[in-house]
Chain A
Amino acid sequence: NAGVMQNPRHLVRRRGQEARLRCSPMKGHSHVYWYRQLPEEGLKFMVYLQKENIIDESGMPKERFSAEFPKEGPSILRIQQVVRGDSAAYFCASSPGTEAKNIQYFGAGTRLSVL
C-alpha cells in the first residue's frame, strides 16, 4: 500500500537547465496537486490535475513552469531555464476526489537546489 511517491528526492541544477520532478499518486487516487515550499514558509498551491487534464493552475507561474498528468505514468512538474529563486521543496499530493472530505496525502517532496 504505497503512499505518494516522488522522485528524485534531491535535485541539483545549474541556472538555465531544466528540472523534471515526478510524482506517482497513491493507488486509486486520480487527483494530483503540486505545492511549493520556500524556506520558513508554508506550502503554496501551484497546480491541480486529473488524468490528462489541468483543473486549476492558478498558482503556477505563467512562464517556465508546466505540469502534466498523462493517462499512463506519473505526473511531471517541469521547470525550464531554472533560476536561483526556484530553489525550494516541491511537494506532490493526491486524493481520490470522490469523497466528501478533501484529504490530500503528501509525498516526501523533491528538494531542488539551483546553483
Chain B
Amino acid sequence: DQQVKQNSPSLSVQEGRISILNCDYTNSMFDYFLWYKKYPAEGPTFLISISSIKDKNEDGRFTVFLNKSAKHLSLHIVPSQPGDSAVYFCAASGTGTASKLTFGTGTRLQVTL
C-alpha cells in the first residue's frame, strides 16, 4: 500500500528552466510534508518542508506547493542548475513532533546544459 506516490520516475529539464516534481498521498492523517534530495552513495539531504496549514513555502530557488483537497504537493526549482541533478524524494509524516516518515519512490531529475 503506497501511501506516498511519485508517479514520474525521471524528469529531464534544461538548465535555467523550471523543474516541477510531483507527489500524491492517500493518507489524510499526514500533516507535514518534506522534500529530500539524494545523490548516489549518500544519504538524503533535507531541502524544504511544508505544514498542512499552509499551501506554499519558499526557500530560495525551491518552492513547495500543497493542495490538501487533492492530496497533492509539488516542488518547483527555478532556475534549474546542473548541480540539481539528483533523486528527489517526497516524504510525509503524521501528527506529532516526532514520528516516522513515509517516503515516495523518488524522481530522478537530470538538468541538462
Contact surface of A with B, Cβ cutoff 8 Å? 4, 6, 31, 33, 35, 40-45, 48, 55-56, 58-59, 91, 93, 95, 97-109, 111
Contact = CB atoms under 8 A, between A and B. Distances in A.
Q: Which of A31, A97, A103 has most B Cβ within 10 Å? A: A103
Interface of B: 4, 6, 32, 34, 36, 41-46, 49, 51, 89, 91, 93, 96-106
B44 A91 contact: yes
Interface centre among B36, B93, B96, B97 (most CB of A within 10 A): B97
A107 B98 contact: no
A40 to B, nearest CB: 8
A20 B97 CA distance: 29
Contacts of B100: 33, 45, 48, 56, 58-59
B4 to A, nearest CB: 8
